[in-house]
Amino acid sequence: MLLFEPSRKKITSFSAISLTDIIFLLLIFFLLSSSFVVQPGIKVDLPSTRTSEPESHDRVIVTVTSEGELFVGMRPVSPERLEDELRAMLDPVQERPSLIIRADKTCQFHWVVRVLDAGRRVGYQRLLIASQPGEMSS
């Protein structure tokens, strides 16, 4: 006499639970393993150039948005306080201090000239305009 009889019933239902577990695990794996290249900061559409160099982190960066808002680093600055902020960020140890201007390609040009002028008056010797690599649009 057998206590347990093997049952040989056919499985007629489909269980999607294990399939969804596998899909969720794959989704989590790809989300964690993919590298997100997110540039923190202010949204600016830079103009394109054929020659472009990567930004260095030892330079002061002034951002000009399409609406004419000014940012020194990540801090918003009024046009009247721009020179004071640039003077405070100037490193006296640097041999040739650099100022990078990240200006939106649709901003009014007088904002860029204003930042260039303020940087020159404060004492920055290298004034650079940031761009992105790519074909120049006409």
* Boundaries of every domain in the chain: 48-133
Cα angle, residue 72 at apex, residues 68 and 76 outer, rounded to 5°? 60
- Could you report the per-residue pLDDT of 80-136, keeping only the tens digit for each? 999 999 998 887 777 788 889 989 888 888 999 999 999 999 988 888 888 777 765
Q: Which residue would you say has higher pLDDT here, 31 or 58? A: 31
Cα angle, residue 83 at apex, residues 82 and 89 outer, rounded to 5°? 90
- Could you report the per-residue pLDDT of 46-82, keeping only the tens digit for each? 666 666 555 555 678 899 998 889 999 888 999 999 9
Please report the pLDDT score of residue 8 as a whole number: 75
Please report the pLDDT score of residue 52 as a whole number: 56
Please report the pLDDT score of residue 77 as a whole number: 92
Fold of 48-133: Nucleotidyltransferase; domain 5 (3.30.420)
Q: Do 70 and 63 contact (CB within 8 A), yes or no?
A: yes
Is pLDDT at 25 greater than 80 in this prediction? yes
User: Would you call 33 helix, strand, or coil by DSSP?
Assistant: helix
